[in-house]
């Protein structure tokens, strides 16, 4: 792992003044045969403290998802000492210049050192010309790369004995459970906590596809809460969380019973349920009748404000924008990403900018450099989602209609192997991608040790930290979690 630069910094975090070193390093990675895979950029914030005090501090390793996304969204969204200052007016149009970067007094640096990891081919890292796709673009190859990066960092900083927490968002939550398994069972390194923001560990079974009742039920609370936010719900609640809680009860009760009966549901009961669903979601009962009470999340995002000519954001359904004119060839974009991504791009260009010659020297590359990459566009198309544990669900040694991806087993096995480790799940109530219902399904139907698990819901979207008030609460909750996970009494 080669150091590109180290910059001193200081700030006040949770009321505690602190000096720290902010560094960028490039980790060189190889496959099991010793062939070069490329480099990954690693940004670290390490408190300037005496060695003994530093060794006792927790380290939080953070990464976003995609797959193929850089970690800049967590890095500059709220976890690090500087954050993009997004406007609180959600319907404000794109601004020029983009929102500024400001000091973040709620960052976790008072409690833990922070390490943000960009996958190979994102950030300032690049893939080697002949790198094997399977070693980069697969659930297990990706986990092996991240385990190598973390091991390199821990040894370089002499922090193998420090409390350690993984924090992943979206696909990063799947990465986190594979990574926890890899670190423990291959590298012999255990962890004190896992943080899953916008958890997608059980995405296959809660996928919103026709015929999958679990998916329909998992998406319902999101729809009901979003309808309430936009004033389309017939129900009156004092808070988004109250709507969500009531909608979950309805989903697991009357709605589940009606869906399970399918075409055997009597006409009167069908009509009554369609009216109930309209009251919850603001979508016409006639549509529910035509679709046998079934409305996908995508269908909901299109239908809720269709008469107003508006579409809703996938990452955050509170955002709206004029619906695309598909007849004219316009593509539908995500209003929530349209409003937030420019701020991250501008912030990264300034704050993460580095000396191209220093980077090129560390990477062994020509002096010409193409800047910070937010995503690896090859990753999604090339990704291999299969894992070795899925072999028991295959037939004749190959993929079949019976195949599944038991990702959750990685989580439950790790929590069993590490009996003191703690789990944190954070979910945005207006997130259509990784819904609160999916998190509820995970906790209800798997052997998750509830006594060591926290589930927090936030009135926000997929990137819940972009809202200032929510970011403050999320950081408070994470601070308490990291402290509890890393106490001497709770550690192995």
In the chain, where the domains are located: 2-204+341-486, 213-337
Judge contact between 485 and 108, C-beta under 8 A.
no
Q: What is the pLDDT of residue 94?
A: 58
Q: What is the pLDDT of residue 185?
A: 94
Give the number of other Cβ atoms within 10 Å of residue 325's Cβ: 9
CA distance 104 to 87: 15
Q: What is the pLDDT of residue 367?
A: 42
Question: Tens of pLDDT along 173-232?
Answer: 999 999 999 999 999 999 999 999 999 999 988 888 888 999 999 999 999 999 999 999
Quote the mean pLDDT of the chain: 89
pLDDT at 393 exceeding the cut of 70:
no
Segment 1-16 shows an average pLDDT of 92
Q: What is the pLDDT of residue 352?
A: 83
Q: What is the pLDDT of residue 368?
A: 43
Out of 96-110, 189-203, 338-352, least confident range: 338-352
Query: What b/e readout covers 258-287, taking b as 16+ CB neighbours within 10 angstroms?
Result: bbeeeeebeeeebeebbebbbebbbbebeb
Give the number of other Cβ atoms within 10 Å of residue 34's Cβ: 6
Q: What is the pLDDT of residue 366?
A: 44
Q: What is the pLDDT of residue 18?
A: 96
Percentage of residues in the chain having pLDDT higher than 70: 91
Q: Is 54 helix (H, G, I), strand (E, B) or coil?
A: helix
Q: What six digits make up the tokens of 281?
A: 């979601």
Judge contact between 247 and 465, C-beta under 8 A.
no
Question: Tens of pLDDT along 149-166?
Answer: 999 999 999 999 999 999
Q: What is the model's pTM?
A: 0.94
Q: Measured between alpha carbons, how far apart are the two ends of the chain, in Å?
A: 29
CATH code of the domain made up of 2-204+341-486: 3.40.50.1820
Contacts of 48 (CB under 8 A, 6+ apart): 8, 18, 19, 20, 21
pLDDT at 391 exceeding the cut of 80:
no
Residue 1 or residue 353, greater confidence: 1
Q: What is the pLDDT of residue 355?
A: 61
Out of 116-120, 169-173, 404-408, least confident range: 404-408
Confidence of residue 106 (pLDDT cuts 50, 70, 90): very high
pLDDT at 6 exceeding the cut of 60:
yes
pLDDT at 369 exceeding the cut of 80:
no
Q: What is the pLDDT of residue 243?
A: 97
SS3 content of the chain, % helix, strand, coil (to 5): 45, 20, 40
Question: Tens of pLDDT along 404-440?
Answer: 778 999 999 999 999 999 999 999 999 999 999 999 9
Q: What is the pLDDT of residue 309?
A: 87
Q: What is the pLDDT of residue 156?
A: 96
pLDDT at 467 exceeding the cut of 90:
no
pLDDT at 129 exceeding the cut of 70:
yes
């Amino acid at each position: 792992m080669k150091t590109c630069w180290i910059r001193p910094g200081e700030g006040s975090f949770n009321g505690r003044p602190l000096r720290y070193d902010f560094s960028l390093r490039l980790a060189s990675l190889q496959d099991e045969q010793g062939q070069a895979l490329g480099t990954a950029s690693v940004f670290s914030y390490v408190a300037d403290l005496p060695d003994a005090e530093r060794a006792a501090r927790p380290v939080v390793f953070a990464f976003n998802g995609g797959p193929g996304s850089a970690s800049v969204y967590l890095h500059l969204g709220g976890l690090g000492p500087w954050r993009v200052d997004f406007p609180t007016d959600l319907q404000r149009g794109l601004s020029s210049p983009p929102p500024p970067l400001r000091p973040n007094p709620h960052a976790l640096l008072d409690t833990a050192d922070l390490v943000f990891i960009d996958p190979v081919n994102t950030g300032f890292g690049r893939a080697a010309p002949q790198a094997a796709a399977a070693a980069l673009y697969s659930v297990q190859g990706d986990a092996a790369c991240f385990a190598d990066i973390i091991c390199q960092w821990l040894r370089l900083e002499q922090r193998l004995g420090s409390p350690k927490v993984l924090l992943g968002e979206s696909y990063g939550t799947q990465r986190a459970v594979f990574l926890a398994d890899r670190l423990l069972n291959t590298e012999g390194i255990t962890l004190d906590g896992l943080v899953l923001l916008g958890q997608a560990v059980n995405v296959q079974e809660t996928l919103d596809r026709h015929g999958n009742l679990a998916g329909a039920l998992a998406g319902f609370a999101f729809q009901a809460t979003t309808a309430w936010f936009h004033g389309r719900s017939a129900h009156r609640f004092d808070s988004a969380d109250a709507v969500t809680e009531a909608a979950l009860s309805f989903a697991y009760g009357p709605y589940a019973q009606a869906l399970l009966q399918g075409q055997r549901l009597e006409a009167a009961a069908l009509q009554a349920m369609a009216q109930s669903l309209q009251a919850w979601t603001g979508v016409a009962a006639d549509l529910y009748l035509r679709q046998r009470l079934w409305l996908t999340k995508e269908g909901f995002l299109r239908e809720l404000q269709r008469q107003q000519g508006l579409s809703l954001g996938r990452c955050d359904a509170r955002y709206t924008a004029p619906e695309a004119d598909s007849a004219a060839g316009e593509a539908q974009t995500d209003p929530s990403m349209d409003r937030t991504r420019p701020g991250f791009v501008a912030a990264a260009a300034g704050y993460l900018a580095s000396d191209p010659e220093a980077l090129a020297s560390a990477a062994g590359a020509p002096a010409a450099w193409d800047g910070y990459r937010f995503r690896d566009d090859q990753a999604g198309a090339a990704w291999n989602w299969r894992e070795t544990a899925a072999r028991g669900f295959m037939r004749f040694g190959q993929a079949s209609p019976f195949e599944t991806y038991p990702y959750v087993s990685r989580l439950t096995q790790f929590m069993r192997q590490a009996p003191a480790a703690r789990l944190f799940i954070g979910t945005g109530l207006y997130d259509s991608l990784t819904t609160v219902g999916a998190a509820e399904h995970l906790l209800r139907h798997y052997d998750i040790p509830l006594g060591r698990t926290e589930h927090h819901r936030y009135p926000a979207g997929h990137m819940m930290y972009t809202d200032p008030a929510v970011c403050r609460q999320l950081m408070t909750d994470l601070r308490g979690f990291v402290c509890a996970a890393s106490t001497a009494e709770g550690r192995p």
